[in-house]
Structure 1
C-alpha cells in the first residue's frame, strides 16, 4: 500500500483522498446508532494508528525536538477534528457539515488580505451559511452547526501544521506519528462513552475499512500532495470537498439537500475556488 500510494501523482492523489474520506464519512454515520460518534471516531483513529505504524514504522527516537513541536499539535488537531466532525454529522447532513467545516480553510486562505475582492469571497461564503442557518426555520440543529464550525477551525490548523511538518519530516512517518497522538487523545472518549463495548466482528471489519478510507489513505495522500503542490493548487482541489460530501451522502445515505442547502454548498465552493484563483501569486512561505 505504501509504495502504491506514494507513486500516485499529487493532483490525482488529492482527488482520490477527497473521494476516499467522504465515502468513509458516509460509512461512519451508519455506525453511529450502534457505537456512537465517539466510539466510531475512536475505532477509526485507533485502527488507523495501528495500520500506519505497521506500514511506515516511524522511529520515534530519531525525531528531533523541532519535529516534535509540530507533529504533536498536528496529531492532536487531526484527532480533535475527526471527533468534532463526527459529532456534527451525527446531528446534521454530511454535505452541510462539510460546507460549514470548510469555512475554516477559507478564512485561512484570505487571512491577512486587505483586498476588497477577498472580502467579497468571505461574504459569499457567509451567505451560504445564512441559507442553512438554524434561524431560517429549516430544522437544522444548532449544536451540529457549532460542531461543524469548530471542526473547520481544527481543519485550518491541520492544513497549516501539515504544510509545516511536510517540509521537515517524511510524509508517511509524519502521518503515522501524528495519528499516534490523535489516538491518545480520542480513544479514551470511546472507552468512557462505552461505544467500544458494543464491538462485534462486523463492526471491527467496518472499522478497518473506515480507518483505511477516512484516515490511512487520504491523510497519506494529502501529506504527499502538501509537499509537492503549490498551496494555491492544493486549496483549489480541496474546494471540491463540500460537493463531494453531498454526492457521497446522497449515494450512500440517501441524504437529500433542499434547494437552499444546495445553494449554500455552491456558494462556499465558488468562494473557496475564487479566493484561491484571485489570491496573490506570492504566497507567504510556511516556516
Structure 2
C-alpha cells in the first residue's frame, strides 16, 4: 500500500507529503534523475513492505499486522517530528482525528484485501479511488477518457477471472480506494492547519490508538512474539518510514507532476512484489488490466496538472 502527496492521483498511503517535512532544513541537492530514483525506491519499499506484511498474516493475522505497522510508525513519526500539541482549535483536532480515522480504515481494509486476493490485483482496484478523485477534481472532459480507460482495465480483470477472486477481497480493496481518496482530501486539510508533517504524525498516533483494540482482540499475545515484533518493525520501516523519507527527498528534486506520474506505477510494482515474495502469478489479461489502469492513472495525473 502506499504514503500521500495530495496532488497525485495515485500516491503512497502512509505518509502525507502534502505537509512539507519534519526535516525541512535539508537542502535541495541532486538532479531530477536522482529524484526519479528516490520515487521508484519509495514505491519498491512500499510494495515489498506490503508483500512482507502479507507473509506475516499467519503469525498475527491481517488486523494484528496493521496494528503493529500503525503503532510502530506512529512511534517513529512522533519521535522524529516531535509535533507541538498546544495552541490549536477544536476544528484543527477534528481534522486530525478524521485524518487518522481514514488512515486506520484505509490500512485495515487494504490488509484485509491482500489477505484474500493477490497484491497486484488489490492495488489495481485500490487506485481507482484516487483516480476517480483526480478525474472529478480536474473538471476536464479529457479526464473522463482516462476514467474510461481504467474501467476497461477493470473489465479485463473481470474477464480474466474476477469470478475466481474472493468477492470480499475485491470489496475491501475498493473500500480502501474510497478511503484513500478521503485520505488525500484530509491530508490537504490537515496540512493547512499544522506545520511541517506535524499533522501526519498526530494522525498516525490517532490511527494507532484506533487500531490497538482491534489488533489486540484479534491477535492477542501473538503481537508480543519477538519474531513477530521484529518483522512488524521491518514492515513499518519498509511501508512507512523509508518511503516517507524517500518521497520527501524526491519532492525536492522533481516536479509534483513527475512525482504523480511515477507514483502510478504502484500497481505494476505491487504485482512484481507479489510474484517475487509471495509467488503470486498474473495471467496475460491480468497484466494487460494492470497496464491499462497504470496508463489511465498517469494520464489523469498529467491532465490534472495541466
* TM-score, length of structure 1 as denominator length: 0.86
Gaps of 5+ in 2: 1-21, 30-34
**How far apart are residue 82 of structure 1 and its match?**
0.8
Q: 1:215 aligns with which of 230, 236, 240?
A: 240
Q: CA 1:159–1:112 in structure 2 vs 1: closer, same or farther (change >3 Å)? A: closer
C-alpha offsets along residues 195-217 of structure 1, whole Å, 9 cap, x if unaligned?
Answer: 55353211111011111111233
What RMSD in Å do the two structures reach over aligned CA positions? 2.8
1:81·1:151 contact (CA, 8 Å) conserved in 2? yes
Residue pair 2:160, 2:283 contacting (<8 A) in 1 also: no
For 2:226, the equivalent position in structure 1 comes to 201
- Write the distance in 1 (CA, Å) between the matches of 2:254 and 2:92: 21
Shift of residue 135 of structure 1?
8.9
**Relative to structure 1, is the Cα distance of residues 271 and 203 closer, same or farther in structure 2, using a 3 angstrom cutoff?**
same
Q: Bigger shift: 121-130 or 227-236?
A: 227-236
- Larger helix percent: 1
Asked if 2 retains the 8 angstrom alpha-carbon contact of 1:36 and 1:195, the reply is: no
**Which residue among 56, 59, 70 is the counterpart of 2:95?**
70
- Residue aligning to 2:297: 272
Please state how far the C-alpha of 1:227 moved relative to its aligned partner.
9.6
Q: Which of 33, 44, 47 is the matching residue for 2:58?
A: 33
Q: Which residue pairs with 2:180 in the alignment?
A: 155
Structure 2: distance between partners of 1:170 and 1:245: 32
Q: How much has 1:8 moved relative to structure 2?
A: 7.4
Structure 1 Cα separation of the partners of residues 140 and 197 of structure 2? 37
The alignment status of 1:51 with 2:72, answered yes or no, reads: no
Aligned length: 280
1:75–1:181 contact (8 Å) kept in structure 2: yes
Q: Alpha-carbon deviations, 1:49-71, whole Å to 9, x = none?
A: 11222222222224444532322
| Structure 1: tracts of 5 or more residues without a match | 282-287
